[in-house]
């Protein structure tokens, strides 16, 4: 095992991005109808995180087959610490009401590619 901060430094030294974020995986704890009932408040909260710069990405995740939606989701959060990230996730109405429970982990984004296309006259944005 390697200490997290030690690994982060090693990754950065080798030229990796070493961008630290926090991933909350959210799983249903109540019935689908109870989860759906919280959805409007959840989406408003997610939008507030996005506007504040605390949300990197969020959205639903499938079951293990990739064929079914079971009300689970994932939040990728930008925070200064595990405690701050835990507070952000805990304040999601899905978690506050007990409709879903979450697990939280740090994620060190090292590799990948994001392409963004912006139409300057149309304002259209395409994320690939």
41's tokens = 């408040």
Number of domains composing the chain: 1
- On whether the CB atoms of residues 73 and 58 are closer than 8 A, the answer is yes
Tens digit of pLDDT for each residue in 67-113? 999 899 999 999 999 999 999 999 999 999 999 999 999 999 999 99
C-alpha neighbours within 13 Å on the C-beta side of residue 57: 11
Instruction: Provide the pLDDT for residue 22.
Output: 98
CATH number at residue 71: 3.30.70.1060
Q: Is the model's pLDDT at 128 over the cut of 90?
A: no
Residue 18 in contact with residue 4, Cβ under 8 Å? no
As a whole number of angstroms, the distance between CA 59 and CA 73 comes to 6
Q: Cα 48–118–19 angle (5° rounding)? A: 55
Q: Do 19 and 69 contact (CB within 8 A), yes or no?
A: no
Mean pLDDT estimate for the chain: 95
Residue 102: helix, strand or coil by DSSP?
Answer: strand
Mean pLDDT over 108-119 rounds to: 93
What whole-number distance in Å separates Cα of residue 8 and Cα of residue 109? 10
Q: Please say if the pLDDT value at position 127 is more than 90.
A: no
Do 38 and 98 touch, CB atoms closer than 8 A?
no
As given in the structure block, the two tokens for residue 8 are: 């982060």
Q: For 28-44, what is each residue's pLDDT tens digit? A: 999 999 999 999 999 99
Provide the domain limits for residue 47: 4-127
């Amino acid at each position: 095992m390697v200490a997290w901060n030690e690994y982060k430094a090693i990754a950065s030294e080798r030229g990796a991005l070493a961008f630290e974020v926090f991933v909350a995986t959210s799983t249903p704890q109540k019935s689908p109808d109870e989860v759906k009932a919280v959805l409007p408040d959840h989406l408003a909260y997610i939008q507030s995180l996005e506007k504040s710069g605390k949300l990197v990405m969020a959205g639903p995740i499938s079951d293990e087959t990739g064929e079914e939606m079971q009300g689970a989701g994932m939040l990728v959060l930008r925070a200064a610490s595990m405690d701050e990230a835990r507070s952000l996730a805990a304040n999601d109405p899905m978690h506050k009401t007990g409709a879903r429970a979450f697990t939280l982990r740090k994620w060190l984004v090292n590799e990948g590619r994001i392409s963004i296309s912006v139409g300057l006259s149309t304002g259209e944005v395409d994320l690939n």
